[in-house]
Amino acid sequence: MPLETQRSAYWRGVRDGAPFLLVVTPFAMLFGVVATEAGLNLVETMAFSIVVIAGAAQFAAVQLMVDNAPTVVVLASSLAINLRMAMYSASLTPHLGRAPLWQRVLVAYFMVDQTYACSIAKYETEPDWGVGQKIAYFFGTMTPICPMWYAMTLAGALIGSAMPAGLALDFAVPITFIALIAPMLRTAAHKVAALVAVALALVLAGLPYNLGLILAGMGGMMAGARVEMWLERRGLWS
């Protein structure tokens, strides 16, 4: 495959990933602030972001640590939140499964919500792309997102408690997931799964250790699966 074609796909990925800087920047800064205020030092905070690189799970883990939750609960909660990555991987396998092992390892590491959402949407609209173009596009989406996550985590950790309380950086958390999920709610099963998950999350918000969030996610997936099966039996699923 011509190098120029892969280069073009890479830069298209950079352009598509760049808008997410508007939410990644405050999201990462907020984690840096929260982590240091929870008692983590600079090295521990940066190691958290570099090794885990999963914003929602990082926030959940830090909050549970502050609440003195048992280690097994911290790990289980973080794992449950990140189970979506297994589903992301499964849907990317038909597109990237033939890539060299070292590339797949890097894709697995840099697969976050934003890089996945951009990539899977583009792959569906570019069915003629080869593996080389798809890999190039994925790394293009990663280029503005992941380095900024590290840099802004560092900035938040260094600023720490000096961050003005009225700045309200936590707006980035819900906005990020709304921007990612809303365009993907294309079928009745998707919409039912989202509605059930939201309703259960609100009803079960009082449960300790984020158990309400875990149960809400499971309930949403089961509801979506049931709707999909119902539509398939009636020949309405495409």
Give per-residue pLDDT as tens, 163-179: 565 555 555 556 556 65
Going by C-beta distance under 8 Å and a sequence separation of 6 or more, which residues neighbour residue 171?
26
Highest-pLDDT range among 25-39, 133-147, 189-203: 133-147
Neighbours of 227 (CB within 10 A): 19
Report pLDDT digits (tens) over 10-44.
Answer: 999 999 999 999 888 888 888 888 888 888 889 99
Report pLDDT digits (tens) over 200-235.
Answer: 989 988 887 667 877 887 888 888 888 888 877 776
Nearest CA to 54 out of 71, 87, 31, 73 is that of 31
CA distances for 132 relative to 1, 6, 54, angstroms: 7, 6, 26
Work out the average pLDDT over 106-129. 92
Contact 220, 193 (CB under 8 A): yes
Domain ranges for the chain: 3-184, 186-238
If you count them, how many residues does the chain have?
A: 238
Going by C-beta distance under 8 Å and a sequence separation of 6 or more, which residues neighbour residue 168?
none
Q: What are phi and psi of 100, to 5 degrees?
A: -55, 155
Give dist(CA 147, CA 170) in Å, integer: 20
Work out the average pLDDT over 48-58. 85
The pLDDT value recorded for residue 1 is 45
Contact 131, 1 (CB under 8 A): no
Give dist(CA 62, CA 36) in Å, integer: 10
Residue 7: CA count within 13 A, CB half-sphere? 3
Higher pLDDT, 169 or 50: 50
pTM across the whole model: 0.74
Going by C-beta distance under 8 Å and a sequence separation of 6 or more, which residues neighbour residue 174?
none
Question: Confidence band (pLDDT; 50, 70, 90) for 101?
Answer: very high
The pLDDT value recorded for residue 165 is 55
DSSP secondary structure string, 20-35?
Answer: GHHHHHHHHHHHHHHH
Give dist(CA 238, CA 228) in Å, integer: 10
